[in-house]
């Protein structure tokens, strides 16, 4: 039985509050297909959804998906839209419904005219903010082209209809460097779940053979890891966590992880004094090497590069009008030496001696080839 509007709102104000709380959560999650939400069998049976008429839901959906400051609607427009869905309502009822939507947090503005006009005024994000999120999705290599399009479509629902149409017209998803499957996307979700629930994860880890075949490390042994964080570096996700077998904090490329499961075993607590940000800095692009405190002598034009790599807090000192010094902690890896070499002689390692010698050996290996 469908309650009358007055019965519904007088007898079920608590249920209505619960419903709109639910709606706002779905909005924040990007799930704005309210009709689909209502039709979901499980949610449909809840008290909040049972307390709503199809008219109120349809009205909310119409306002959210259709209106903004540049796209207003009149009561006649609303009535015509409802009729398309088999719903009839007089102007007085519609005005009351709009007031109820406003009361429950929907920012609907009325423009007083001979024929009053209405639109949703406040959105969760501005168009430039959503554009930044869309660009991030498009540039993420681990997100497949299909998933990228799906996420972008959801993101555009956060902005006004006119802005959404403009964003969609300027979309281009480059599939040349995109992943071909969604395994990383799924792994990231499971790792986040394990971190939140403080549980260990189990997985196998692989390398690529010269024939581009996946070869499991250690004959397919299962890794048990207590996840602490996900780090993003050079378009790649890395898992940082406590490795049971090695009994130390370790890192793993998420795109090399397969057959991951979240276990029921409680995760090992972070070691005392462990700092994820410091770990990230020391790992320096996630390649292995001895951790070392180094000193660099750089030409003044390299300050942007130094800050981009180590952050604004990195200790520096002016040496002369053309040079400055840097002192920081890195891993003495081929990646670090390659980065120094790429400066074209504008950056010199001055200390410690083992770092100077390591860089010299790399140069000598190049000259011998």
Q: Once rounded to an integer, what is the mean pLDDT over residues 275-298?
A: 76
Q: Kindly report which listed range (118-132, 139-153, 164-178, 180-194) carries the lowest average pLDDT score.
A: 164-178
Percent of the chain with pLDDT over 90: 34
Domain extents in the chain: 5-120, 127-177, 200-270, 284-367
Alpha helix locations (H) across 170-252? 183-197
Mean pLDDT of the chain: 79
pLDDT at 256 exceeding the cut of 70: yes
Q: Kindly report which listed range (28-37, 83-92, 129-138, 224-233) carries the lowest average pLDDT score.
A: 28-37
DSSP H or E segment with residue 340:
helix 334-341
Q: Give the pLDDT band of residue 44 (cuts 50, 70, 90).
A: very low
Q: Which CATH number fits domain 284-367: 3.40.50, 1.10.10, 3.30.450, 3.30.70?
A: 3.30.70
Q: What is the CATH number of domain 5-120?
A: 1.10.10.10
pLDDT at 262 exceeding the cut of 90: yes
Q: What is the pLDDT of residue 349?
A: 96
Instruction: Tell me the pLDDT tens digit for each residue of 289-308.
Output: 778 899 999 999 999 888 87
Q: Any idea which residue has 């790992």 for tokens?
A: 283
Q: Could you tell me the CA-to-CA distances from 229 to 164, 238, 242, 291 in Å, in that order? A: 33, 8, 10, 20
Q: Once rounded to an integer, what is the mean pLDDT over residues 78-105?
A: 89
Q: What is the rounded CA–CA span in Å between residue 66 and residue 185?
A: 32
pTM of the model: 0.53
Instruction: Tell me the pLDDT tens digit for each residue of 71-87.
Output: 899 999 999 999 998 88
Q: Once rounded to an integer, what is the mean pLDDT over residues 202-218?
A: 86
Q: What is the pLDDT of residue 286?
A: 43
Q: Kindly report which listed range (239-243, 258-262, 310-314, 315-319) carries the lowest average pLDDT score.
A: 310-314
Q: What is the pLDDT of residue 13?
A: 46
Q: Which residue has the higher pLDDT, 203 or 105?
A: 203
pLDDT at 31 exceeding the cut of 70: no
Q: Once rounded to an integer, what is the mean pLDDT over residues 335-350?
A: 92
Q: What is the pLDDT of residue 15?
A: 44
CB 362 within 8 A of CB 341: yes
Strand partners, 331: 291
Query: Cis before residue 352, ω within 30 degrees of 0?
Result: yes
Q: Once rounded to an integer, what is the mean pLDDT over residues 317-341?
A: 90
Q: Once rounded to an integer, what is the mean pLDDT over residues 198-204?
A: 96
Q: Kindly report which listed range (117-126, 187-196, 238-247, 342-351) carries the lowest average pLDDT score.
A: 117-126
Q: What is the pLDDT of residue 104?
A: 78
Q: How far is CA 264 from the centre of its chain?
A: 26
pLDDT at 49 exceeding the cut of 50: no
Instruction: Tell me the pLDDT tens digit for each residue of 167-188.
Output: 665 555 555 456 655 688 789 8
């Amino acid at each position: 039985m469908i309650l009358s509007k007055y019965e519904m709102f007088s007898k079920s104000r608590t249920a209505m509050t619960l419903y709109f709380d639910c709606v706002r959560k779905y909005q924040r999650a990007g799930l704005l297909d309210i009709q689909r939400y209502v039709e979901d069998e499980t949610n449909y049976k809840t008290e909040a959804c049972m307390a709503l008429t199809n008219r109120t839901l349809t009205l909310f959906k119409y306002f959210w998906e259709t209106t903004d400051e540049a796209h207003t609607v009149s009561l006649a427009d609303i009535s015509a839209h409802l009729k398309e869905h088999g719903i009839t309502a007089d102007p007085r009822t519609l005005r009351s419904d709009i007031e109820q939507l406003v009361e429950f947090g929907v920012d609907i503005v009325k423009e007083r005219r001979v024929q009053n006009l209405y639109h949703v005024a406040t959105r969760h994000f501005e168009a430039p903010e959503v554009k930044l999120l869309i660009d991030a999705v498009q540039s993420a290599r681990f997100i497949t082209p299909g998933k990228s399009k799906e996420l972008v479509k959801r993101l555009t629902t956060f902005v006004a209809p006119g802005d959404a149409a403009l964003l969609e017209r300027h979309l281009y998803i480059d599939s040349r460097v995109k992943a071909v499957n969604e395994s990383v996307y799924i792994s990231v979700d499971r790792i986040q779940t394990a971190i939140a629930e403080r549980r260990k994860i189990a997985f196998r880890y692989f390398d690529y053979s010269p024939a581009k075949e996946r070869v499991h490390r250690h004959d397919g042994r299962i890794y048990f890891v207590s996840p602490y964080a996900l780090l993003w570096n050079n378009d790649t996700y890395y898992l940082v966590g406590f490795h049971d077998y090695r009994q130390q904090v370790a890192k793993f490329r998420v795109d090399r992880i397969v057959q991951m499961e979240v276990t029921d075993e409680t995760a090992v607590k972070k070691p005392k004094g462990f700092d994820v940000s410091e770990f990230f800095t020391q790992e320096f692009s996630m390649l292995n090497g001895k951790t070392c405190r180094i000193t660099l002598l750089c030409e003044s034009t390299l300050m942007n590069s130094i800050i981009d790599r180590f952050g604004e807090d990195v200790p520096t000192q002016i040496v002369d009008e053309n040079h400055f010094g840097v002192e920081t902690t890195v891993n003495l890896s081929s990646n670090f030496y390659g980065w120094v070499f790429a400066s074209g002689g504008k950056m010199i390692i001055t200390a410690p001696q083992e770092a100077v010698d390591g860089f010299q050996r790399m140069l000598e290996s190049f000259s011998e080839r």
